[in-house]
Structure 1
C-alpha cells in the first residue's frame, strides 16, 4: 500500500478496487477478517448527477479502507 493512499478517498472505481484488494490480502495474510467492503453501485445513469451513486460508493470505500488500515495498524503495534 502506498503512503499517499492513507486517509484519502479513492478517486475512481479502479483505485477503490485496488485498495480493497490490497487490504483484503493484508487481512488474509494475518488471519484476520472484517466486514465485507461496500458493493459497487449498479444504478448509475451516467449523466454526471450531483450526488452520483459513485460519489457515495467512493466515500464508503474510503471509509472501509480507513477502518481496515486502523485495525491492521493496531494489530501490528500489539
Structure 2
C-alpha cells in the first residue's frame, strides 16, 4: 500500500477508523517499522453531542497518529 492511499482513507466512523489502524499497522509491520500505539477508542461518550466530544478528540488524535505513520513509511 502506498502512503498516498493511507492519506486518502476516510475516517467518518469507527469502522473506517479501525480499518485505517489495521492497514497502517500492517504496512508498518511489513517494513519492519515500529510506531507508538494508536489512540484508544473512547468509552466515555454520553451521546448528547457535546461541543468537544470525546470522539472529536479521538479522530484528531488518530489524524496525528496517521501523519506520524506516513512519515515513518516515507
Q: Distance in 2 between matches of 1:8 and 1:62?
A: 11
- If the length of structure 2 is used for normalisation, what is the TM-score? 0.84
Per the TM alignment, residue 46 of structure 1 is displaced from its structure 2 partner at its CA by: 0.7
Note the aligned Cα RMSD (angstroms): 2.2
Unpaired stretches in structure 1, ≥5 consecutive residues: 74-78
- If the length of structure 1 is used for normalisation, what is the TM-score? 0.80
1:34 correspondence with 2:19: no
Q: Deviations over 1:20-76 (max 9, x none)?
A: 110000011111111111000100001111110000000001110111011101xxx
- Between the two proteins, the alignment pairs up a number of residues equal to 73
Counterpart in the other structure of 2:60: 59
Please, which moves more after superposition, 6-15 or 48-57? 6-15
- What is the correspondence of 1:1-78 to structure 2 with a 5 Å cutoff? 3=4, 6=7, 10-73=11-74
Unpaired stretches in structure 2, ≥5 consecutive residues: none
Per the TM alignment, residue 4 of structure 1 is displaced from its structure 2 partner at its CA by: 6.6
Q: Distance in 2 between matches of 1:11 and 1:58?
A: 9
